[in-house]
């Protein structure tokens, strides 16, 4: 008689659930974000979901969720990481290549359904005094890729950290509820705030430089002015092209920010306009200071040349007297006079003192 083997029967629901479990799933390693990923989060209805999932898993969830998008933040990613991100989010190859480079000009570009907004970050470098090699403004790059269900930010350089941007906008779920364009708005607002902050610091530097240029004791070194001029020009290149990009973004009939965010972008453009005006004024002021300092240097050089000419004239009078008596003619006046040598020295001293007083009275000495 065959022996009947007894098997316990599990409840139907539990058995079906256990039957669906892949026995290898417990041994499957959890995917971890690469080091270039600063943060990755899924937002549902304007609120962040707990955790920091892998960007591929986060995007897969965002694609199937309602009012859901993912924000991936990268800092100086390598070619392999950026290529993998591009494959996951469907970025074109030119967009991926642009994200790997730095030193971009602020602009707005479209790659299919993805919009790329390129911005320049700026930060003020503290310094005790201005020298010929002082770094005053440090700039970097921030690229924002905006798609239907994602926003990818790529940052190059030490300035323009986006962690405060994420923390601030997460406290305003009504803004994040507008979707990925809320990230672009928050990043633009942060960059404009940085521009205005750097402009305030530059204004104080310019005040000190202006005082030193017109100081009575000693004017500012022209090399210091040139260095500050170069730093302001670098800052100007980072800011001035951005208004055109924002205007193109707001004027786009489709593919741009939703109507609820357009008035916020308008406020950002107003702040950017103030920054542009201040930077232009600083550049013009520095140009005037450089010209003033060059005029001062020309006056100082002219004054030095007058001093040299005055002392040369005084020396020439002594040389003339000595040269005449050095010709050794037989019938020279006072040649056999007992006090002739003393008389010649007295004549030379009298002519030197007379010329010195004349030059002092005319302002040459």
Write out pLDDT tens, residues 25-43: 344 456 788 889 999 999 9
| Domains of the chain listed by start with CATH number | 30-293 (3.30.460.20), 299-362 (1.20.58)
- Least trusted range by pLDDT, from 85-94, 154-163, 307-316: 307-316
**Whole-prediction pTM:** 0.77
Q: 328's torsion region: left (phi>0), alpha (psi -120 to 50) or beta?
A: left
Write out pLDDT tens, residues 320-344: 877 777 777 766 666 677 777 787 7
For residue 279, pLDDT over 70 is answered with yes
Write out pLDDT tens, residues 140-175: 999 999 999 999 999 999 888 999 999 999 999 999
What is the model's pLDDT at position 334?
A: 67
Listed as own residue / partner, the contacts of 229-232 with beta carbons closer than 8 Å and 24 or more positions apart are 229/283, 229/286, 229/287, 229/290, 231/134, 231/135, 231/136, 231/137, 232/136, 232/137, 232/202, 232/279, 232/282, 232/283, 232/286
């Amino acid at each position: 008689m065959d022996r009947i083997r007894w098997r316990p029967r599990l409840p139907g629901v539990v058995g079906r659930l256990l039957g669906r479990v892949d026995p290898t799933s417990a041994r499957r390693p959890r995917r971890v974000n690469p080091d270039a990923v600063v943060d990755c989060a899924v937002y549902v209805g304007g609120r962040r979901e707990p955790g920091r999932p892998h960007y591929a898993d986060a995007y897969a969830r965002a694609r199937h969720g309602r009012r859901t998008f993912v924000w991936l933040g990268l800092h100086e990613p390598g070619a392999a990481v950026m290529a993998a991100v591009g494959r996951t989010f469907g970025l074109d190859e030119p967009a991926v290549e642009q994200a790997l480079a730095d030193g971009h000009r602020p602009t707005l570009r479209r790659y299919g359904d993805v919009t790329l907004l390129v911005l320049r970050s700026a930060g003020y470098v503290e310094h005790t005094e201005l020298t010929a090699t002082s770094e005053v403004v440090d700039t970097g790059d921030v690229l924002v890729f905006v798609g239907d269900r994602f926003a990818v930010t790529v940052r190059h350089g030490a300035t323009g950290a986006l962690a405060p941007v994420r923390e601030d906008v997460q406290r305003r779920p009504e803004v994040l509820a507008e979707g990925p364009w809320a990230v672009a708005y928050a990043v633009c607002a942060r960059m404009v705030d940085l521009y205005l902050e750097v402009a305030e610091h530059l204004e104080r530097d310019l005040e000190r430089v202006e005082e030193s240029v017109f100081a009575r004791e000693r004017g500012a070194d022209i090399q210091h002015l040139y260095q500050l001029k170069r730093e302001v020009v670098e800052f100007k290149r980072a800011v001035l092209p951005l208004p055109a990009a924002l205007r193109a973004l707001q004027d786009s009939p489709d593919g741009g920010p939703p109507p609820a965010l357009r008035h916020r972008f308008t406020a950002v453009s107003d702040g950017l306009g103030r920054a542009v005006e201040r930077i232009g004024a600083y550049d013009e002021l520095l140009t005037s200071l450089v010209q003033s300092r060059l005029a001062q240097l020309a006056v100082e050089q002219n004054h030095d040349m007058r001093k040299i000419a005055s002392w040369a004239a005084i020396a020439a009078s002594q040389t003339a007297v000595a040269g005449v008596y050095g010709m050794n003619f037989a019938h020279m006046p006072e040649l056999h006079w007992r006090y002739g040598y003393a008389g010649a020295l007295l004549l030379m001293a009298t002519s030197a003192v007379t010329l010195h007083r004349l030059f002092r009275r005319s302002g040459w000495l």
